[in-house]
Amino acid sequence: MLTAEVLDAIGGLTAHVKSYAATLPSIVHLKVVPSGVKPSAEAMDSYEVIVTRTQRQSAGTPYRGLNESLVCSLEAFEQGNLIGTVQALLTVIDQLERMQRDQEIEVGRADEKRLTEYRVALRKVLPGNQPELAETGRGS
Protein backbone atom coordinates (compact mmCIF):
# COMPACT_ATOMS: atom_id res chain seq x y z
CA MET A 1 0.00 0.00 0.00
CA LEU A 2 1.29 3.44 -0.93
CA THR A 3 0.69 6.81 0.69
CA ALA A 4 -1.25 7.89 -2.40
CA GLU A 5 -3.65 4.95 -1.93
CA VAL A 6 -4.24 5.89 1.71
CA LEU A 7 -4.88 9.46 0.65
CA ASP A 8 -7.31 8.26 -2.03
CA ALA A 9 -9.23 6.47 0.73
CA ILE A 10 -9.20 9.55 2.98
CA GLY A 11 -10.35 11.64 0.04
CA GLY A 12 -13.26 9.29 -0.56
CA LEU A 13 -14.22 9.32 3.11
CA THR A 14 -13.93 13.12 3.21
CA ALA A 15 -16.26 13.36 0.20
CA HIS A 16 -18.82 11.22 2.04
CA VAL A 17 -18.53 13.40 5.13
CA LYS A 18 -18.99 16.58 3.09
CA SER A 19 -21.99 15.12 1.28
CA TYR A 20 -23.57 14.00 4.56
CA ALA A 21 -22.89 17.36 6.22
CA ALA A 22 -24.68 19.09 3.34
CA THR A 23 -27.86 17.16 4.19
CA LEU A 24 -27.93 18.35 7.79
CA PRO A 25 -29.86 21.44 8.86
CA SER A 26 -27.64 24.48 9.33
CA ILE A 27 -28.78 24.93 12.92
CA VAL A 28 -29.44 21.93 15.12
CA HIS A 29 -30.96 22.33 18.54
CA LEU A 30 -29.02 20.56 21.29
CA LYS A 31 -32.04 18.38 22.08
CA VAL A 32 -31.86 16.94 18.56
CA VAL A 33 -28.12 16.28 18.40
CA PRO A 34 -27.99 12.90 20.21
CA SER A 35 -30.31 11.15 17.78
CA GLY A 36 -28.95 12.97 14.72
CA VAL A 37 -29.85 12.42 11.10
CA LYS A 38 -28.15 9.35 9.73
CA PRO A 39 -26.49 9.09 6.31
CA SER A 40 -28.22 7.06 3.62
CA ALA A 41 -27.74 3.30 3.57
CA GLU A 42 -25.85 3.66 0.28
CA ALA A 43 -23.47 6.22 1.79
CA MET A 44 -22.86 4.00 4.82
CA ASP A 45 -22.18 0.98 2.58
CA SER A 46 -19.78 2.95 0.40
CA TYR A 47 -17.96 4.36 3.44
CA GLU A 48 -17.64 0.85 4.87
CA VAL A 49 -16.26 -0.49 1.58
CA ILE A 50 -13.51 2.16 1.61
CA VAL A 51 -12.59 1.42 5.24
CA THR A 52 -12.62 -2.35 4.72
CA ARG A 53 -10.54 -2.13 1.55
CA THR A 54 -8.00 0.10 3.30
CA GLN A 55 -7.80 -2.29 6.26
CA ARG A 56 -7.24 -5.25 3.96
CA GLN A 57 -4.59 -3.47 1.88
CA SER A 58 -2.76 -2.03 4.88
CA ALA A 59 -2.09 -5.40 6.53
CA GLY A 60 1.63 -5.84 6.97
CA THR A 61 2.39 -2.19 6.13
CA PRO A 62 3.11 0.83 8.31
CA TYR A 63 -0.44 2.03 7.52
CA ARG A 64 -2.08 -0.77 9.55
CA GLY A 65 -1.86 1.55 12.58
CA LEU A 66 -4.53 3.74 10.96
CA ASN A 67 -7.16 1.01 11.08
CA GLU A 68 -8.48 1.76 14.57
CA SER A 69 -9.12 5.41 13.73
CA LEU A 70 -10.71 4.45 10.41
CA VAL A 71 -13.06 2.03 12.17
CA CYS A 72 -13.93 4.76 14.70
CA SER A 73 -14.76 7.09 11.80
CA LEU A 74 -16.97 4.40 10.25
CA GLU A 75 -18.83 3.76 13.51
CA ALA A 76 -19.39 7.48 14.04
CA PHE A 77 -20.54 7.91 10.42
CA GLU A 78 -23.04 5.07 10.73
CA GLN A 79 -24.48 6.70 13.86
CA GLY A 80 -24.81 10.06 12.15
CA ASN A 81 -22.17 11.52 14.47
CA LEU A 82 -20.62 14.12 12.19
CA ILE A 83 -18.24 15.54 14.80
CA GLY A 84 -17.00 12.07 15.80
CA THR A 85 -16.47 11.14 12.16
CA VAL A 86 -14.47 14.29 11.44
CA GLN A 87 -12.41 13.91 14.61
CA ALA A 88 -11.49 10.33 13.72
CA LEU A 89 -10.47 11.31 10.18
CA LEU A 90 -8.42 14.23 11.52
CA THR A 91 -6.71 11.70 13.81
CA VAL A 92 -5.83 9.62 10.74
CA ILE A 93 -4.30 12.70 9.11
CA ASP A 94 -2.38 13.47 12.32
CA GLN A 95 -1.09 9.88 12.38
CA LEU A 96 0.06 10.12 8.77
CA GLU A 97 1.90 13.37 9.49
CA ARG A 98 3.56 11.78 12.54
CA MET A 99 4.55 8.76 10.46
CA GLN A 100 6.08 11.10 7.89
CA ARG A 101 7.93 13.07 10.57
CA ASP A 102 9.26 9.82 12.09
CA GLN A 103 10.28 8.69 8.58
CA GLU A 104 8.09 5.59 8.73
CA ILE A 105 6.54 6.58 5.40
CA GLU A 106 7.48 8.84 2.52
CA VAL A 107 5.10 11.62 1.57
CA GLY A 108 5.76 13.60 -1.58
CA ARG A 109 4.89 17.25 -2.05
CA ALA A 110 1.69 16.48 -3.91
CA ASP A 111 0.61 14.12 -1.11
CA GLU A 112 1.45 16.74 1.52
CA LYS A 113 -0.81 19.16 -0.33
CA ARG A 114 -3.60 16.58 -0.38
CA LEU A 115 -3.23 16.03 3.39
CA THR A 116 -3.59 19.77 3.94
CA GLU A 117 -6.60 19.97 1.62
CA TYR A 118 -8.36 17.12 3.42
CA ARG A 119 -7.66 18.66 6.83
CA VAL A 120 -9.09 22.01 5.67
CA ALA A 121 -12.14 20.34 4.10
CA LEU A 122 -12.87 18.35 7.25
CA ARG A 123 -12.49 21.38 9.50
CA LYS A 124 -14.89 23.35 7.31
CA VAL A 125 -17.54 20.68 7.88
CA LEU A 126 -17.42 21.11 11.65
CA PRO A 127 -20.18 23.21 13.20
CA GLY A 128 -19.15 26.75 14.06
CA ASN A 129 -16.90 27.20 11.05
CA GLN A 130 -19.33 29.45 9.19
CA PRO A 131 -18.16 33.08 9.33
CA GLU A 132 -21.73 34.30 8.89
CA LEU A 133 -22.54 32.83 12.30
CA ALA A 134 -19.59 34.52 14.03
CA GLU A 135 -21.77 37.25 15.54
CA THR A 136 -24.56 34.96 16.76
CA GLY A 137 -25.04 34.06 20.39
CA ARG A 138 -23.31 37.09 21.81
CA GLY A 139 -26.40 38.54 23.48
CA SER A 140 -26.47 41.82 21.60
Q: Please write the tens of the pLDDT for every residue from 35-55.
A: 557 899 999 999 999 999 999
108 in a structural domain: yes
Model pLDDT, residue 28: 55
**How many CB atoms are located within 10 Å of the residue 123 CB?**
11
Is the model's pLDDT at 21 over the cut of 50?
yes
**What domain range is 47 assigned to?**
3-22+39-126
Report the domain count for the chain. 1
Decide if pLDDT at 31 tops 70.
no
Q: Is residue 59 scored above 50 in pLDDT?
A: yes
27 found inside a domain: no
| pTM score of the predicted model | 0.83
Confidence tier at 137 by pLDDT (50, 70, 90): very low
Assess if residue 28 is contained within a domain: no
Q: Which residue has the higher pLDDT, 82 or 128?
A: 82
Residue 101 located in a structural domain: yes
Please give the average per-residue pLDDT across 110-114, as a whole number.
Answer: 94
Per-residue pLDDT for 132 more than 90? no
pLDDT at 126: 83
Q: Is 135 within the bounds of a domain?
A: no
- Residue 133 in domain: no
pLDDT surpassing 90 at residue 103: yes
Q: What pLDDT does 140 receive?
A: 37
